Amino acid sequence: MEKLFDIQRQELLSASKAMLDRGLVTGTAGNASVRLADNDEWADANTAAFMVTPSSVPYEQLRSNDLVIVNSEIEPLDGESIPSTESLMHRAIYQARPDVQAIMHTHSTFATVVGIAGKPILPVIDELVVYVGGQVDVAKYGEPASDELAEFAVEALAEKGACLLRHHGMCAVGTSVSRALEICTLVEKAAQIYFYSELWNGSIELPPDAIERERAIYRMRSGFDV
């Protein structure tokens, strides 16, 4: 019988490769992780914190053994590679958001453009409210792999499903790595729509009553009041 741990490893590997296939990352950019479920092998929650993609391994070459299990101090416990340099951000989000089971950080083009401009992605399409909780806010700038970046990402994310990292792409969270991947894809689509609508005639948000109804759907799914 396949262990839940092995299932999570395969899901993280598949979703990480899908980031490349969908054009959300290039080379070795971006990263993803999953919070480990309770199981016999990693039963102590204080010992095994999460499984994360490795640093500097191209996605085409990524193998299941490259995925790294780290403890709460981001010390490797299992895996053949060095954990992602953005593991600080992943740890900070898991600590702040007990509802989050997976995190994905991408460098997709339009989300990065909007983040560089320092503008949130306004709720111009219904899906953004239903799956993210409203507009996608921009975090204050923090250098890559720094405590500041981790702090600012948590702050901008709040109780929503995604945030933009200024000059550094975007971050999405979900109940699974597949859900986090879908949110990354949705945010990139919304960023592209928002960008072109701003160029053409300016963006117009959804009607306030529609936003409130759709936020209720997000609240019901996430358990948070946004």
> Catalytic site residues?
86
**Residues 194, 164: Cα–Cα separation, whole Å:** 14
In the block, which residue shows the tokens 């399409």? 125
- The strand pairing partners of 173, in sequence order, are 103
Q: What is the per-residue DSSP string for 17-72?
A: HHHHHTTS--TT--EEEEEPPP-STT--TTT--EEEPBSS--GGG--GGG-EEE-T
Task: Give the burial string for 91-125 (b: 16+ CB within 10 Å, else e).
Answer: bbbbebbeebbbbbbbbbbbbbebbeeebbbbbbb
